[in-house]
Structure 1
Amino acid sequence: MNTNLINLAVRFLLEIAMLITLGFWGWHVNTGWLQYAAAAGLPIIAATLWGVFRIPNDPKPAPVAVPGIVRLLLEWLLFGAAVLALFTMGYFALSLIMGITLKLHYIVSYDRTWAMLQNKPYNGFKTNS
């Protein structure tokens, strides 16, 4: 189910929302030049962590291969930070919507999540090319 196009689109939108939220939060909680540094730096750090620390074949070879549980914890940490950031900025409804959407996404992606928890390769990531 993880490779369903709708689920992949939802995941992509969640990832983009996470990056935007972290940047907005960085701007919101700082002043002066730190606003600019945090607004740009937090999404860059999150995107770098997201892209570098992956499980093998997720969907391409990982720059730094990590066990499935580590990747899952990284995802939950970054997504959780975005949900918490929305909440602390007073966007309670958006925080709730993002949190519920994330839970539903991981439920629908049960096959990927289960494989990651068992630290097994997930064959659904492999492409025909």
Structure 2
Amino acid sequence: MELVALFSIGTFAWTHFNGFARYALVLILPAFVMIIWSVFAVPGDPSRGSDGVVAVSGMTRLILEFFVFGAGFIALYYSSSRIYSLTFLLLIVLHYVASLDRIKWLLER
């Protein structure tokens, strides 16, 4: 899902900008999101391979995930097909429904 969000943000940059900005933002926006995603982590999060560089609370991590997946959804909605964006939104919801134990774990941190 993270890769879909990154791809969607890059696609948005490609379809909504022209010239040098198009090429720069196609690289910069997904790279920025990828860095933020990997830097901020909850220590000991079993769903991640490492603790990240900056330790954050579980609530902060959930908000970060909300913004990344939300940005991916919105970017996909405005740059591609609405059916793909709604499918991605459904997958996000299903992911969090299936991950209720992780959400509980994060909220306790």
TM-score by length of 1: 0.78
- Percent identity reads 34
Q: Which has the larger radius of gyration?
A: 1
- Given candidates 34, 47, 54, the residue that maps to 1:64 is 54
User: Structure 1: which amino acid aligns with 2:12?
Assistant: W
Q: Which runs of 4+ in 1 moved over 3 A?
A: none
How far did residue 117 of structure 1 move? Answer: 1.9
Give the match for residue 11 of structure 2.
24
Give the match for residue 95 of structure 2.
105
Q: Secondary structure at the match of 1:73?
A: helix
Shift in CA distance, 56/88, structure 1 to aligned 2, threshold 3 Å: same
Q: Secondary structure at the match of 2:32?
A: helix
How far did residue 107 of structure 1 move? Answer: 0.6
**Aligned runs of 1:33-72 on 2, under 5 Å?**
33-58=20-45, 59=48, 60-72=50-62
Indicate yes or no: 2:68 matched with 1:78.
Answer: yes
Q: Secondary structure at the match of 1:48?
A: helix
Unpaired runs of 5+ in structure 2?
none
Indicate yes or no: 2:83 matched with 1:96.
Answer: no
TM-score by length of 2: 0.92
Deviations 1:47-106 (A, max 9, x none): 000000010023322210000000110011010011011111251100110000000001
**Which one has a larger percent helix, Structure 1 or Structure 2?**
2
Count of residues in Structure 1 that have an aligned counterpart in Structure 2: 106
Cα root mean square deviation, aligned: 1.1
Q: Secondary structure at the match of 2:12?
A: helix
User: Structure 1: which amino acid aligns with 2:27?
Assistant: A
